[in-house]
């Protein structure tokens, strides 16, 4: 099975706690094997075993209290 890596652009993250919130929510999605959020750039890199549903990604980021603005 091939892993896919997608980097999303997220607004509103300002600290390590923000990074953790986003990472925790995205880690709950089926197929996600790793998440790396970087507050200073707003980039969130997600590695998954299958393509992720864009609405599910947006919902997870919204749940964490931030806004998905697109892919990097």
pLDDT in tens, 22-47: 999 999 999 999 999 999 999 999 99
CA distance 72 to 63: 21
The pLDDT of residue 52 is 93
In angstroms, the Cα distances linking 15 to 12, 40, 42, 49, 72 are 9, 8, 10, 28, 20
CA nearest neighbour of 59 among 22, 15, 13:
22
What is the pLDDT of the chain when averaged over all its residues? Answer: 96
C-beta separation of 68 from 13 below 8 A: no
pLDDT (mean) for 7-19? 97
Q: Residue 20's pLDDT band (boundaries 50, 70, 90)?
A: very high
The class of domain 4-71 in CATH terms is alpha beta
The pLDDT of residue 72 is 75
Q: Which residues touch 54 (CB under 8 Å, ≥6 apart)?
A: none
């Amino acid at each position: 099975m091939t892993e896919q890596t997608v980097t999303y652009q997220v607004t509103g993250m300002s600290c390590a706690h923000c990074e953790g919130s986003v990472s925790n929510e995205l880690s709950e999605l089926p197929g996600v094997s790793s998440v790396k959020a970087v507050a200073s750039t707003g980039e969130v890199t997600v590695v998954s075993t299958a393509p992720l549903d864009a609405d599910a990604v947006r919902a997870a980021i919204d749940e964490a209290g931030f806004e998905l603005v697109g892919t990097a």
